[in-house]
Amino acid sequence: MKMSYETLNLSGLCFEALNTTVKCSDRLAKHIAWDASSVGLLDRVGLADVCEDTCRQSLVDLRTKILGSCDTNTDTIQYSYLNFPATYIVDRYLYFYDVSCYKDSSSGKFCDTVVAGWRNETGGSEAHYCDDCWLGPMSVQLKSPIGFNKYRAQEFASLTRSCSVDAYAKPTPTPY
């Protein structure tokens, strides 16, 4: 079904920017939960498909194009009866990309692979709450208005305190 930019309440220039094709695997679009901020784990094949540097750069370039083409006051996207800036869609893609493609600071391995391995251990993930693969993606989530949750932020603050970890800046999301 085709829609005109007038139906979406977007200017023609903004609609054109939003209608840009990005250089990403369609697996990223399938991985995004539109009604939630939680991010599921990708398997090795999914990580290889999604976590391409060219994809992230393409998303960043699109965000810049949208910012330059859309009026922040009038070009908004309606979702769940709320208005969001025109960057909302690409921001969701970047959010899911950054959380899913986060790599452990010491080993350089994708944290989705590391966390999946923890599930097979006795004691599960709890034994690894101080690990970068637990705290790092949580920090990324909390820095985004999409993933921020005050209870999760309190949990993050408690974990970094109890783990004596100060490598992560206090996550403060940029408001929409």
Please report, in tens digits, the pLDDT of each residue of the chain (176 residues total): 455 555 678 999 999 999 999 999 999 999 987 777 889 999 999 999 999 999 999 999 999 999 999 999 999 988 778 889 999 999 999 999 999 999 999 999 999 999 999 887 776 666 799 999 999 999 999 999 999 999 999 999 999 999 999 888 888 887 77
On whether residue 1 sits in a domain, the answer given is no
Q: How far apart are CA 99 and CA 147, in angstroms?
A: 10
Q: Phi and psi at residue 27, in whole multiples of 5°?
A: -65, -30
Same-domain check for residues 41 and 109: no
Same-domain check for residues 91 and 107: no
On whether residue 2 sits in a domain, the answer given is no
pLDDT score, position 1: 44
Same-domain check for residues 133 and 166: yes
Same-domain check for residues 56 and 109: no
On whether residue 139 sits in a domain, the answer given is yes
DSSP state of 120: T
Overall domain count for the chain:
2
Contact yes or no for 90/59 (Cβ under 8 A): yes
Q: What range does the domain containing 106 cover?
A: 102-176
Same-domain check for residues 17 and 67: yes
User: Among 113, 114, 128, which residue's Cα sits nearest to residue 159?
Assistant: 128
Same-domain check for residues 38 and 59: yes
Ranges of H-type helices in the chain? 12-18, 26-31, 44-50, 53-69, 88-100, 111-118, 132-142, 150-162
Same-domain check for residues 125 and 170: yes
pTM of the model: 0.90
Domain end position, chosen among 82, 101, 120:
101
Domain end position, chosen among 51, 76, 101:
101
Same-domain check for residues 145 and 83: no
Contact yes or no for 176/82 (Cβ under 8 A): no
Same-domain check for residues 49 and 64: yes
Same-domain check for residues 55 and 111: no
Tokens representing 51 are 């976590």
Same-domain check for residues 96 and 111: no
Domain end position, chosen among 81, 101, 121:
101
